[in-house]
Copies of this chain bind each other. A is one copy, B any other.
Amino acid sequence: MSLTQHWQEVGELAAGQHLSIPVYRFGDAASDGLHVYIQANVHGAEVQGNAVIFQLMKRFESMDINGSITLVPLANPLGINQKSGEFTLGRFDPITGVNWNREYVAPDFDMSTWFAAHAHLDDAELFAAFRQELITGCKRQLDNDWGVSTGTRLAAELQQMAHQADIVLDLHTGPKSAKHLYCPEYDLAAACYFSIPHTLVMPNEFAGAMDESAFYPWWQLSDIAAQHGRQIEVPVSAFTLELGNQERIDLIDAEIDAEGILAYLSHRHVIDDHVKPRKMRRNACALQDYKKLYAPMAGMVEYVAPLGKPIRAGQGLVNILRLDLYGTEQEIVEIKAPEDCVPVLHFASASVHLGTEMYKVMTNVFELSCDE
């Protein structure tokens, strides 16, 4: 499939350098078929999504696309370029502290009112009108006499592109992390296609993340329609893929995740090639059962629970080493899992203050049934 490319301006640095991001497209955005939007590296240190986009593009070059696929690697140059010591300080705006992935916006209009005014439209018309309203809402963000914040501008530019798609994939990573997927509950079957063993099931809520900004309005619309007795299947799919560790580029592993994405696109008939999903056990839990373990004391941390493997309540998660307390009972303190759980990610650093988030773990885990 032929590839087009353009640059999207998203910022300007104090010394005058323009920040623009490369936008690649396979297929025709005006064509029939589904439209796909894939972005990577909104958090500056979470670079592996770029490698996955690279491997995907290599594959798309020899494929037919039904619809279009838009790919935006290096989506947040300000985050990517911000170093602090040897690491990339790209999780939040260094000036404001705002997480770059909490700047997307929910509809700025009342969706119930809107639905009532457009209830006479058939599904296709309704969707087209709603989509247009969402895009217009993003444009309104950018049009303000008092200007627009750095993070709002970036988010609004990305979100506009995402709203034009039927399928939205936001490629992230954890700090030290097993691969996991954020998947809205209505779309849980999709989790069977990606090369990802752990799924967090998201409710119909909005907290500012890209995936939520893409699925939440449609899911709300579907709920509102249902209240009026009209059944609408949510027509947009949106997922966040967490592709292992941050600060890591691995081109071979990127092929595995590209394959998973292709399996999903194959399932959705975006590509004609038949790509089968990888066989693996896939576990899930509700987002509310995804627990954070905070350090109950400061110290040096040995992370002992392997990522992605179930452990029992009472098994050790970390050892906290306190050399200042050598010879006391606190020289090493083992922190145990309060419940049965699957550790999914842990903190990047091996020392913690009191209250630093050390692990995120799934509890009340169930297996997805992915029949083939």
B13 touching A47, Cβ below 8 Å: no
Contact for A85 among B94, B251, B354, CB less than 8 A: B94
Instruction: Indicate with 1 or 0, residue by residue over A244-262, a CB within 8 angstroms of chain B CB atoms.
Output: 0011111100000000000
Hey, which chain B residues are within 8 Å of A18, CB to CB?
17
Please, how many angstroms separate the alpha-carbon atoms of A15 and B50 in the complex?
Answer: 11
Q: Which residues of chain B are within 8 angstroms of A324 by Cβ–Cβ distance?
A: 15-16, 21-22, 73-74
Do B355 and A153 have beta carbons less than 8 Å apart? yes
Of the candidates B19, B86, B99, the one whose C-beta lies within 8 Å of that of A349 is B86
A95-B85 contact in complex given A24-B326, A50-B300, C-beta closer than 8 Å: yes
Interface size class of A (residues with CB under 8 A): 35 or more
Please indicate the chain B residues that have their CB under 8 angstroms from the CB of A94 in the complex. 83-85
How far does the alpha carbon of A338 sit from the alpha carbon of B349 in the complex, in Å?
Answer: 33
A150: B residues at CB distance < 8 A: 294, 353-356
Known: A3-B327, A50-B323, A321-B249. A145 touches B14 (CB 8 A): no
Residue of B nearest to A354 (CB): B12
Residues of B within 8 A of A321 (CB): 50-51, 54, 249, 251
Chain A positions within 8 Å of B, measured between CB atoms, are 3, 5, 11-19, 21-22, 24, 44-45, 47, 50-51, 53-54, 57, 73-74, 77-78, 80-89, 91-99, 144-153, 175, 246-251, 291-302, 319, 321-327, 331-332, 338-339, 347-357
